[in-house]
């Protein structure tokens, strides 16, 4: 089944994610209805902007519990950008905010003393873990597009499926069972990003 529930938490441009998913064969329903999320066979949680605002948007729409329930049930869930960050326990953007807690770890700001510009905006190479389902048919060193000022620090290193070097080495993708995350924007990453989305749609 290639039906995807695309969660609308009230932040970000969901149209580009929807069009990218549709271009790889998914049937996409964009919604902020918790009942639709609870009936999903696959879920994508995209987000841009501030961590706290994103989580507030989920809670205002009663989506937090629905996301946690489908994740616990084993429904494949992909978080993109802030959507990946929200999978973790705590975000430290503009204060300390609780995340979904589906993965152990925190979301931290890049240090001011790095030799690179923050936010991390532009194309960088992925170092993907061999055998990770999201990166099936993705060549080593493929480039993807990033745009963020905070990064995820998983507590369990085995959750990391790809890393990137940008001033520091950090997790650019994660997976634990049915829970997937991409810090980069696959919908803006051309053919590589579309293949990653296709892998989620078909393999998850």
pLDDT at 204: 58
The pTM assigned to this predicted structure is 0.95
Q: Is 81 a catalytic residue?
A: yes
The answer to whether the beta carbons of residues 174 and 160 sit under 8 Å apart is yes
Q: What is the mean pLDDT of the chain?
A: 95
pLDDT tens string 22-74 = 999 999 999 999 999 999 999 999 988 899 999 999 999 999 999 999 999 99
Rounded-to-integer distance, Cα 173 and Cα 129, Å = 10
CATH numeric code, 3-203: 3.40.50.880
Question: Do β-strands 120-125 and 143-148 pair in parallel, antiparallel, or remain unpaired?
Answer: antiparallel
R_g over Cα of the chain: 15
Which residues of the chain have a pLDDT value below 70? 1, 204
Residue among 194, 203, 180, 204 at smallest CA distance from 21: 194
pLDDT at 1: 65
Q: Is 187 a catalytic residue?
A: yes
Per annotation, catalytic residue among 81, 120, 148, 152? 81
Per annotation, catalytic residue among 97, 120, 148, 185? 185
Per annotation, catalytic residue among 89, 127, 187, 202? 187
């Amino acid at each position: 089944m290639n039906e995807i529930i695309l969660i609308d938490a009230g932040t970000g441009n969901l149209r580009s994610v929807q069009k990218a998913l549709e271009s790889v064969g998914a049937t996409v329903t964009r919604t902020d209805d918790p009942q639709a999320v609870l009936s999903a066979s696959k879920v994508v949680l995209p987000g841009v902007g501030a961590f706290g605002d994103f989580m507030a948007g989920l809670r205002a729409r009663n989506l937090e519990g629905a996301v946690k329930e489908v994740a616990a049930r084993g429904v494949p869930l992909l978080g993109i950008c802030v959507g990946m960050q929200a999978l973790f326990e705590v975000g430290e953007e503009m204060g300390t905010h609780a995340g979904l807690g589906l993965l152990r770890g925190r979301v931290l700001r890049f240090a001011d003393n790095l030799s690179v510009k923050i936010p991390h905006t532009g194309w960088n190479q992925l170092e993907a873990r061999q055998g990770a389902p999201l990166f099936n048919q993705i060549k080593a060193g493929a480039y993807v597009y990033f745009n963020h000022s905070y990064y995820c620090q998983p507590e369990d290193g085995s959750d990391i499926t790809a890393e990137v070097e940008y001033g520091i080495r950090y997790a650019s993708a994660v997976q634990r069972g049915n829970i997937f995350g991409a810090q980069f924007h696959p919908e803006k990453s051309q053919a590589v990003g579309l293949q990653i989305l296709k892998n989620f749609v078909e393999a998850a």
